[in-house]
Every structure is written in structure tokens, then in C-alpha cells.
Structure 1
Amino acid sequence: MKKTDKYRTIRSVSSGFYREKGSRFISVASPLNNSDEIKPLIDSVKKEHHEARHNCYAWVTGISGENWRAYDDGEPSGTAGRPILGQIRSFGLTNVLIIVSRYFGGTLLGTGGLINAYRSAARSALENAEITVHVLRDRYELVFPYQSMNDVMRIIKEEDLKQSEHLFGMECRMTVSVNISAAERVLSRFTRVEDLKYRYIDTD
């Protein structure tokens, strides 16, 4: 199966607002670098909106959006977290957390009204966000003799690889970044270079 090396997310924190029959729905969308950020972000919003009746949220993580959660925080099941999650999916995003804080206005909205309100508040935050496409790259350290330099540089040029951390001498060292979808092909080419060795560093 071909690897996915791109995903859509938001560049920075954005906010939104929706009002329905006196109830105010204040939304915050945050980009996520890792799952460890989720709880602190939720706790921060709950502290800021401690007088809100509900702080409902949904998040999606993973390159293909395979990890997710939707939370209703006391609202009728399926009326808050799921509509928020639906907007993240609708925008084709991942690595995003949206929290919607509801200040009750005194009038019950009913199931349909709640679904629309939470959906609209989440959409408002995403409409105010800057969408960005993140390209995932594997980084490798190459070690090779100086006489193989031309072969290495030819592959780097033909594959349009990003390079950094050069150290040239009788033994050369170089770090290259490879789109993960192309990594298998590129590494296969490097293995055919005389006396070249490579080491995986990380994925960015």
C-alpha cells in the first residue's frame, strides 16, 4: 500500500462563535503536534470558560485521521461531540482539536437545535483558521567515500531531496530529507552507490 506523505491541518489557534435562542457557543480550534497536548488544551479552555454549562469537544490525529474522540460533556448523546467531529472530517483535517463552550441562554434547543449549534460553532472556528498542508519527510544520514560524491549528488538532484549537515572529507556525511512516499525508491538507489551506508534519523 502506498504511504501517505501529506495531510491537511490548521496552522495556528482560531476561534468562532454561534448564538441560538440566547445560548452562546464559543469555539476554539487548535493544531496538535502530538496527543500529549490534548488534555492540557482542554483543561485550559475549561478554566477559561469555567462558567460555561458545557465544554464539548472532538479531536482527530494521525496521518489519515485514524485516531479520534468526540465528547458531549453532559449534552444529550450525539448532539455535541459528533457534530464537532463531523466538521473536522468535512474540512478534511487531522491533528486538530475543537472545543465548544456553551453558555446556556435559558431556552432548551432540542436535539436538532443542539446538533446545528455545535456544528455551526465548530465550522465558524475552522472558517477562521488558516489551512495548511504538511508534508511528512523521513530524514536519513548518509555515509560514503569521497569518490562516490558525484553519484550521491546526482540522486539528490534527480529526486529533489533536501540536504543538510554536510561533512566532507575522505569519508563524507550528509543528512537528507525524503518524502515518505518516495523513501523506498530513493533508498533503493542509494544502496547501489558503492560503499554507501544510510541510517534512519526521524520523521518530520
Structure 2
Amino acid sequence: MAETYRVIRGETEGFYKEKGSKFLAFAYHVERIEEVKEKVEILKKQYYDARHHCFAHIINAGNQQLIRANDDGEPNHSAGDPILGQIRSYDLVNTLVVVVRYFGGTKLGVSGLVHAYKTAAEDALSKAEILTIEIKTDFSLVYPYEKTQEVMRILTEFGVEIKGQDFTEICSLSGRITPEKHQALKDKISLLDLELTS
């Protein structure tokens, strides 16, 4: 399983022109299908006079990926798939690219369309800032105050990212750790007669 994944930060735009047809590309960071619908609807309203609003996305949803390519009236696989191909070539997830086409009066043919949608999508993605996110597992831990020093020493040793903590007579803590270290941390914490819960 991959230990990192790549996303774009914010939004970027791209552009391509061929034989009078204009292709306006928009790349977004999205995490839910609802966001995809929202962004596409906004662009359809904004560019209501455009002939096509084609898009593709890859979204990480738990253990599965939600992948879709939409040709929006263009010949099958001539728009959505080339856009999707660009998202994949940048190895991105949680990414939506929409390409709005204004028809210029001259038909481009399927190969021309594939090239145009691919190039417009690539133009938008090439301008994006790409972040590499490390996959981590969340956990929580409850422990008596007197074990604080030992607990903190172990958490430091394992490079745990602490998200929140509460120091009282019974202390609680929530943190994140890379999946491959999770079991070893759990085993070490159990030596203190404590239990890590995920």
C-alpha cells in the first residue's frame, strides 16, 4: 500500500486553442462527490454559452477510489478519458479537472479532441502546486498521570504526531502515526499495561 499520496493545493486554470475552438481547463482539490457536482454546476452557470463541460476526477474514499470521466456530449472517450489520463500522469488523487469547450466552427475529429482536452488539462495541472501527503493512522490513548513521562518518551521515539491532549488525574491523548509503525507502538504501549485505540 502506498504510504503517501499526491494532491494539488487550491485551484488552477489552463487554456488551449485549436482551429477556433477554445478549451478552458479548471483543476480543483476535492474530497467529496458533492464538491465535484458543485464545481461543475458553477462552471456550467458561469460558461452557460459553452457547448461542452467535460470533466474527470479521482477521489480517495476510504479503501476505494471514486473515478469518473465524463464526455458531456463529445464522442465517447474523446474528452473525459484524456482529462483523466492527465490526472493519472501527475499521480494525483482528490483532484477534479473540468474542461469547458467553446466550439469554433471547425470539427477537430476524435484524435484532435483527445489532443485538445489532454493539452488543456495538462496546462492547468502543470501550474498547480502539488503536495505529497503522508498516510497516517489516528489513535487515542488514556493513561494515568504518573505514566506521562514514559508515554511521552515512547511517543517521541515513534515520531508520533500529537493532535490533542488533556492532562488531568486520568490523561487522554489523540495522535497520528504511519501505518507500518502502528502495531509496534501498540505493543510497546501495552508493556505499560495501557491500550491504544484506533
TM-score above 0.5: yes
Q: How many residues align?
A: 197
Q: 8 Å contact 2:31–2:60 — kept in the other structure?
A: no
- Quote how far apart the aligned CAs of 1:163 are: 1.7
- 1:69-104 deviations in Å (ceiling 9; x for gaps): 101011111100000000000011011000000000
- 1:166-186 deviations in Å (ceiling 9; x for gaps): 322432222222123432222
Residue in 2 that maps onto 1:148: 147
Residue in 1 that maps onto 2:18: 20
Q: Which runs of 5+ in 1 are unaligned?
A: none
Q: Which amino acid aligns with 1:14?
A: T
* Structure 1 residues 181 and 11: alpha-carbon distance in aligned structure 2, compared to 1, 3 A threshold: farther
- 1:129-167 deviations in Å (ceiling 9; x for gaps): 111112233332211122322321121111111224332
TM-score normalised to structure 2 length: 0.92
Q: Which amino acid aligns with 2:137?
A: D
SS at match of 1:46: helix
- Quote how far apart the aligned CAs of 1:65 are: 7.6
Residue in 1 that maps onto 2:7: 9
Once the two structures are superposed, the pairs formed by residues 176-195 of structure 1 within 5 Å of their partners are 176-194=175-193
TM-score normalised to structure 1 length: 0.89
Distance 1:126 1:164 in 2: 32
Distance 2:64 2:26 in 1: 19
Distance 1:45 1:144 in 2: 52
Residue in 1 that maps onto 2:90: 91
1:41 aligns with 2:39: yes
- 1:95-137 deviations in Å (ceiling 9; x for gaps): 1000000000000001110000000000000011111112233
Q: Aligned Cα RMSD in Å?
A: 1.8
* Structure 1 residues 66 and 169: alpha-carbon distance in aligned structure 2, compared to 1, 3 A threshold: closer
Residue in 2 that maps onto 1:114: 113
Identity among equivalent pairs (%) = 38
Distance 1:6 1:75 in 2: 35
